[in-house]
Structure 1
Amino acid sequence: MRGLIAIGGIVALTLAGCGQRAQKSEEALTAYDVEAPPAEAPSPPPAPTAAPQIAYSYSLTYRLSGNRIGVVQQRQIALCTQLGSARCRIVSSSVGTTGEGSGHAFGETKLLIDARIAQSFMRRLDGVVGNAGGETAARQTNAEDVTKQIIDTDARVRAKQALADRLMRLIQTANGKVGDLVAAERAFADVQEELDAARSNQAALRQRVAMSDITISYTAREASSIASPVTDSLRNAGVTLGTSVATLINIAISALPWLLALAGLGWLLRRLGWRGIARRIRRRNDA
């Protein structure tokens, strides 16, 4: 019983000491630095600095001819691929039309780009669109300050790590009862689980600062020439003709039972003979 009380007291003192260290370290902690020279392969996290940690995201909308959207998208994706996965990653891409034969094309591409080269990379994206005869329709930049989140997460990681180390030393040097040792191991497992979660959150925050989101939208330029309505009509002629034929087929199928009924009635009347029917009617009237 005394061994269990002693272990509980050690764990409580350890938690209190870690909380004080986390509070003190919060004042001296600095954020992740992304201004280091770019590298082709990911490198270990650099020493934190006091600079604010900003997570940037960008949204670009390009307007160009519908038949050029797919080509432009592939060229922009190729620019990202050339940089390598450490500096640019393709999250998703799509391209299509709003309706069958309508010609209103659209597309979207989502990228993750090294924050240090985001501005220069977007200028290259603009160049690809300009060479294809397109233009930038909209541009938006969002910035989120995650400095406090990073500081808090780093402090939590250090506190949990210190507690896990103390519990491990306690387990390795414990000479008490088996029940006390099991309780200490259970406490260590809980702390280790919390430490893993804090490290995962820490990595996600640093990733948001190091890599910026870029969402690219493509829209088809609306036709403005005099011949555009004629061109659109010719383009949609096949769809219009097919729709008309389908309507006629539906009408014919709907009327088929009635046509068969009328044909049967006419055959019966011919079979009996119009004159015979008329004589029977007169006989009945005379009677």
Structure 2
Amino acid sequence: MGKRTLFLPTIVMSSVLALFLQGCSAKYEAPRGSAGAVGEIAYNQAPGKPAVANDQQTRGKYLAYEHHVTVDAAESEIKPLLDKLVAACNADMANQCTLLASGVEGGRMSSASIRVRIKRPGIEKLIALAATGGEVASRNTSAEDLEGPIRDNAKRLDMLRSYREKLLALENKVGNNAEALIKLSQELATVQSELESATGVEARLMERVNMDLLNISIQSRTQRGFWSPVKRATGDFGSNLSEGIASAITGLAYLLPWSLILFLAGFVVRKIWRRMRRK
């Protein structure tokens, strides 16, 4: 009876190790409906019209989109336009608009910027609002394919869930062996922590797929005031004057040695020329 009790923890831990290796080496196929499975494309077809793919097909299955828009506005409209965009984002609950960053830069070149995460229907609304305060100078869209990371994370989630179920089943078979129960509890805690981490990664990846990033830059290049360049030039007069004096002094420092060398060279050439004329 003593030997049987002695070898029981060893048998239990061997079983745990075998289950873990089996879970790590098992081949995976993403189940339908999971985050790793390829989403089915739905079509809305009206009578007499060609089939039109839904938004999921148009955007791509696991593409994370980011939009960059530059608006050229008058200098006096930069700050009010930014305030309108921030207020519109905070009020757009339907598209779950989230303000990520915003800021204004004054001084010589006034500008502002805003960065939000929002559902695609709300993007056009914000861009249209930005266009009311100026002119859309540029608009670019880029996409990142997250299918690989999403599939890999889904495989990891399924493996961890399967391994946790096997550990729970093994826990019922251990009985009252304290040492084996402690080791199983530690392994279960580790698996649960990894599950929570992988679930968080899945949520962040799917958020990037389901929500777009929108960056709007507001500048005043073509719509600057008539006197703005004059004001800047007047404001920079003192610094430009000091830079000019500094450049002149630096040039003089370089010129003095060369002037001395050229003077000596001219003196020697003149002596040689006079001797040649005498002959």
Task: Show the 5 A alignment for 1:75-224.
Answer: 75-84=84-93, 87-97=96-106, 99=107, 102=108, 104-115=109-120, 117=121, 121-132=122-133, 134-222=134-222
Q: How much does 1:143 deviate?
A: 0.7
Deviations 1:31-73 (A, max 9, x none): 46899xxxxxxxxxxxxx9x72111111111111111011111
Q: Tell me, what secondary structure is at the counterpart of 1:91?
A: strand
SS in 2 for 1:136: strand
Q: In the alignment, residue 52 of structure 1 is paired with which amino acid?
A: K
Larger Rg over CA atoms: 1
Q: Structure 2 vs 1, CA of residues 27 and 148 (structure 1 numbering), >3 Å: closer, same or farther? A: farther
Structure 1 distance, partners of 2:142, 2:41, is 18
Residue by residue over 1:57-91, the C-alpha shift from the partner in whole angstroms, topping out at 9 and shown as x without a partner, is 11111111111011111222232222217621111
Give 1:127's aligned amino acid: A
Q: Distance in 2 between matches of 1:130 and 1:188?
A: 55
2:29 aligned partner: 25
- Inter-CA distance 223–214: structure 2 relative to 1 (3 Å threshold): closer
In structure 1, stretches of 5+ residues that fail to align are 36-48, 248-287
Matched to 2:124, the amino acid is: R
Mark the runs of 5 or more structure 2 residues left unpaired by the alignment: 1-5, 43-56, 243-279
Equivalent residues in 2 for 1:55-94 (5 A)? Answer: 55-84=64-93, 87-94=96-103
Output the amino acid matched with 1:26: A
SS at the partner of 1:202?
helix
Q: TM-score, normalised by structure 1?
A: 0.64
Identity of aligned residues (%): 20
Specify the code of the residue in structure 1 equivalent to 2:8: G
Number of aligned positions between the proteins: 216
- Distance change (3 Å), C-alpha of 1:86 and 1:178: farther
Q: 1:61 and 1:240 mapped to 2: Cα distance?
A: 28
CA contact (8 A) 2:96 2:119 kept: yes
SS at match of 1:112: strand
- Structure-2 separation of matches of 1:12 and 1:149: 27
Compute the displacement of 1:184 (Å): 1.2
Deviation of 1:224 (Å): 7.3
